[in-house]
Amino acid sequence: MVTHITPTEYLFFSGKGGVGKTSMACVHAVRFAEEGKKTLIVTTDPASNLADVFEQEIGHQITLIDGFDNLWAMEIDSDRATQEYIDRAMEPIRAAFPEQMVQIMEEQMSGPCTSEVAAFDRFTDFLDRDSHEQNTFDVVIFDTAPTGHTIRLLELPGEWSHSIDEASAGSGQTCLGPAAAIQDAKHKYERALTAMRDAEKTRFVFVLHPEAISIKETGRAIRELGKLEIRNFSLIVNSIIPPQVIENELFAARSRMQQIYLKDIQGQLPYPTSFMPLLTGEINGIQRLNQVGRIFFDGQSAESVFVNDVSEPSGETLMAPREVIRELVKPNGHHRTVFFAGKGGVGKTVASCITAVWLARQGHKTLLLTTDPAAHLGDVLDSPVGDEIAPVEGQPNLWAVKIDPKAAAEKYKTRVLEDARQRGRPVQAIATMEEELNSPCTEEIAAFDKFIEYASQDVWESVVFDTAPTGHTLRMLELPMDWSKQIDVKVFGSVDTAAADDITKQRFGKVIDMMRDPERSTFAFVMYPEATPILEAHRAVSELSTVGIEPSLVVANMVIPPDQVSTDFSRARRNMQEKYLVEMMERFQLPVAHIPLMPQEIKGLDMLIALGEQIFESTPVMSKN
């Protein structure tokens, strides 16, 4: 039995959100287990769907997969990992210091930064040769979060080491915990990075689609990993349209587009490459994972192995009236912010750009912005988008900006420290603040703070927010509450508790109130009409409701138009989609808008304008290019 990728001790599956990382990681895990290898698959994605693919409960513990005695999985839960991390870091401190000091230290570790650190700490247990867990398995597969966040995680050990070293020379305390208590962790992170650099033991497998944005994202990720001296890469090009379906006009056009990008991949990404065809249905359950393994590893025909229902679809539109959708995004006399959320790669950026262009064309002064580390606004607009607000060329009433977390953090630190000096804070207090602001968590706080600055500007009638992938978006939305609760202890706890920054708290609170007001905010969840994105969105909706935010709209992306169903392949795909379009309506009880599957990538103002008319106006438009 021959595999496309030689099994190594560690396999990382990465890539842009929505390209099939989890599916391909699970297919490999099942194959390795069938070959007799003791295999573990671990996800670091806050929006994990391992359980959905394996169709069983997994969670924050190593769990045996049903039907196997040598295949396990684990979904790292950031909340539980955080508590475990704090308990370990604080154990020696509790025995040696007064209770009041211990309480201050624990408060300093209660922020969102610690949850990211803790998840990484748990993750590195499986890369550490000194760990018992690492020596239990022949193969460990990491199903990583979408690329931008994965790279941020991999960069963190260096930042943490710097933070620990600085704190050791200063107050001895960081947002990661007491410096003295986490020196061992620092060495573990360094060993983990060494393991990732070892091409004999570790391989990074990038999953991508033959599309411009996916290729660009993969190239960027590979360059960033190269800066960390990681250079052991392979590719899986996923969702290639099979030759036998190109008699259909829509799929024939998409196939021609893919052929161009396949050549680009060959020229731009010269790494060992495997290919996976687009299938007629979803990949979930052990039987389906086995079938995909036979297609991917053994070269069997998808037509004979992966069979789906090809009965005639109903042809129903299954979407809300356009006047209902319009009212949910228009300002209507109010300043309105439209948030597009959802699983990585489902089309949030496309939905954001279509909506922003349509609002601008209705005469509303509109700002389009993103905080996603893998920002693609400029790619979809086909116009540069920078770190400062600037007009979008060719579209009056539309401005765009991407928030660079690193740049935002530098400006944020400067502003906070200058404010402290002007308030006459003691030198010791400013030194403590500066030390705290040099911690890795400042970037996320600063990015959200920058969003608040833009969202609070009265000049905009409409603000369209292309959010980061769901799990990270939720953490960001919770930041104002987490951070404002900490200000007293975190920054001023050992200096001047009464001097907490009430203005900052008020700014955060004002924006959270705006998010909770359906007259001023619309939360739209974007998803493919498939099981995993729907389940992920439903979990995210539940999380948002805990902070008083309710969604107003569902956007189904890449919906095959009923008039484009002419082959068994397109019938099977449309049948699958119709089932899930009905589920969206029933599960969310919200209006559903459709973005159609197009013959080519959605890019440029002409396509965005046409789609805006189709989604929000009464006359449908379908490109025939």
Q: Which of 115, 137, 145, 140 is nearest to 43 (CA)?
A: 145
Cα 236 to its chain centre, rounded Å, is 20
Element housing 219 (H / E): helix 212-227
What is the three-class DSSP state of 404? coil
| CA–CA dist 551, 513 (Å, integer) | 14
Is the four-CA dihedral 543, 72, 87, 128 of positive or negative sign?
Answer: negative
Active site residue 21: yes
* Amino acid in position 132: H
Catalytic hit among 14, 23, 202, 484: 23
Q: Beta strand 63-64 with 71-75: parallel, antiparallel or unpaired?
A: antiparallel
| CA–CA dist 238, 10 (Å, integer) | 21
Q: Which of 378, 359, 328, 351 is nearest to 527 (CA)?
A: 351
Give DSSP secondary structure letters for 467-529. Answer: PPPHHHHHHHHHHHHHHHHHHHHHTTTTT-GGG--HHHHHHHHHHHHHHH-TTTEEEEEEE-S
**392 within 8 A of 414, measured Cβ to Cβ:** no
Catalytic hit among 18, 111, 177, 493: 18
Catalytic hit among 14, 16, 22, 163: 22
Active site residue 45: yes
Catalytic hit among 521, 532, 570, 612: 532
Active site residue 532: yes
Catalytic hit among 14, 16, 45, 404: 45
Query: How many Cα atoms within 13 Å fall on the side-chain side of residue 386?
Result: 5
Cα 609 to its chain centre, rounded Å, is 27
What is the three-class DSSP state of 177? strand
Active site residue 20: yes
| CA–CA dist 66, 20 (Å, integer) | 22
| CA–CA dist 184, 169 (Å, integer) | 17
Neighbouring CB atoms inside 10 A of 560's CB total 22
Active site residue 202: no
Catalytic hit among 16, 21, 330, 348: 21
Give 114's contacts (C-beta < 8 A, 6+ positions apart).
82, 85, 86, 175, 176, 177, 441
Catalytic hit among 20, 111, 177, 344: 20
Residue ranges of alpha helices (H) inside 389-426 are 405-422
Please identify every residue annotated as catalytic.
Answer: 18, 20-23, 45, 532
